[in-house]
Amino acid sequence: MPIIQNPDNGHELTLAVDDVLFIEDMLEKITAENRSGDNWRNSMLMGYMRILFIYLSRLYTEQFSNNDTAPDRVLLKKYLSKIEENYLELHDVAGYADMLNISAGHLSEVVKAQSGKPAIVHIHDRLILEAKRLLFHTDHSMKEIAFRLGFEDASYFNRFFKRIVGNTPAKYRNHFREMYH
């Protein structure tokens, strides 16, 4: 469903009064059904949830899919694609702006307006995702992971990770390995 997959990187639905009323009604029905001990409760819950997700997907499609060819939407998609291709080597917005032949300021404005997040956050999010993957699935040292992610200094990687995640990479690794092993 589009509302879950978020293919257009939509970050906020605009709800009319009728939309709010419909959603509130569905949530009340879901809450009441969840509290009941009636037969077929799970089937009813699934039905209500399906209706709610279809409704929200319709709103999502109306509000975001029509913007696919808008120049700003295209620029956001190009930026996200460039991050995916180059996040290991390139960690600054200016570098991506150069690749896209625009100014860093313009890129930052468009990305923030289209995605709801500053341009640098998209880069950091991709680096953190890969760092978490490497921490969980490999036995590489922190220094090896830092180097693999394009950080020349392991201590800088450690501070970067802790600032965003709230824990050091080592604590993150230990916590999740204890949880899942």
Say if residue 6 is in the same domain as residue 59: yes
Largest CA distance in the chain: 61
Using alpha carbons, select from 63, 55, 62 the residue that is nearest to residue 23: 55
Say if residue 102 is in the same domain as residue 17: no
pLDDT band for position 8 (50/70/90)?
A: low
Give residue-wise pLDDT tens across range 95-131: 999 999 999 999 999 999 888 899 999 999 999 999 9
The CATH number of whichever domain residue 106 belongs to comes to: 1.10.10.60
Say if residue 136 is in the same domain as residue 112: yes
Say if residue 20 is in the same domain as residue 74: no
Question: Residue 85, CB half-sphere, CA atoms under 13 Å: how many?
Answer: 9
The whole-number pLDDT of residue 67 equals 53
Say if residue 49 is in the same domain as residue 8: yes
How much is the average pLDDT of 29-36? 93
* Residues of the domain holding 35: 2-67
The whole-number pLDDT of residue 69 equals 56
Say if residue 56 is in the same domain as residue 81: no
Say if residue 105 is in the same domain as residue 45: no
Is 60 exceeded by the pLDDT of residue 70? yes
The whole-number pLDDT of residue 115 equals 87
Say if residue 92 is in the same domain as residue 159: yes
Q: Are 81 and 87 in contact (CB under 8 A)?
A: no
Q: How far is residue 179's CA from residue 173's CA, in Å, rounded to a whole number?
A: 10
Say if residue 46 is in the same domain as residue 106: no
Q: Is 27 helix (H, G, I), strand (E, B) or coil?
A: helix
Mean pLDDT of the chain: 90
Say if residue 63 is in the same domain as residue 74: no
Tell which of 67, 90, 118 closes a domain.
67
Tell which of 25, 44, 67 closes a domain.
67
Number of domains in the chain: 2
Say if residue 93 is in the same domain as residue 140: yes
Say if residue 8 is in the same domain as residue 63: yes
Is 90 exceeded by the pLDDT of residue 72? no
